[in-house]
Amino acid sequence: MCTASGVIANSIRQKLHTALQTKHLEVLNESYMHNVPKGAETHFKVVVVSEQFEGLALLKRHRLVNDILKEELQNGVHALSIVAKTPQQWDSSDKVVESSPNCRGGFGK
């Protein structure tokens, strides 16, 4: 996994941190695992820990993150994997973020 520091990654980080007052936030650029140009910012995984997730079902947490990042998702971000936890869930976890599977080339290949 590659900790992201590009323009889009920084925008994702700033928007999520501001909107969700995150307790823990990781933005991982997984574009290198796909058939895209070197340095691309098209595939991301975010690990977001926020008290604002308290009482929300997982689907609602994901919808909230997607809504915050609507502009990025409409303008170049092709894929977004989301790990959304409350502080209590994060504290009781092993804090290990599983790697995403390797790209299969799209179209079911």
45, 97 Cβ separation under 8 angstroms: yes
Strand order, beta sheet including 43-49? 2-3, 24-29, 43-49, 79-85
Q: What is the pTM of this model?
A: 0.86
User: Would you list the domain boundaries of the chain?
Assistant: 30-92
Task: Kindly give the confidence (pLDDT) of every residue in the chain, 109 residues in length, as a single tens digit, with 9 standing for 90 and above.
Answer: 445 578 999 999 999 999 999 999 999 988 878 877 787 788 889 999 999 999 999 999 999 999 999 999 999 888 899 999 999 999 999 988 887 777 766 544 4
Among the four given CATH numbers 3.30.9.10, 3.40.50.720, 3.40.470.10, 3.30.300.90, the one describing domain 30-92: 3.30.300.90
CB contact set of 56 (below 8 Å; sequence gap of 6+): 64
What's the pLDDT at 44? 87
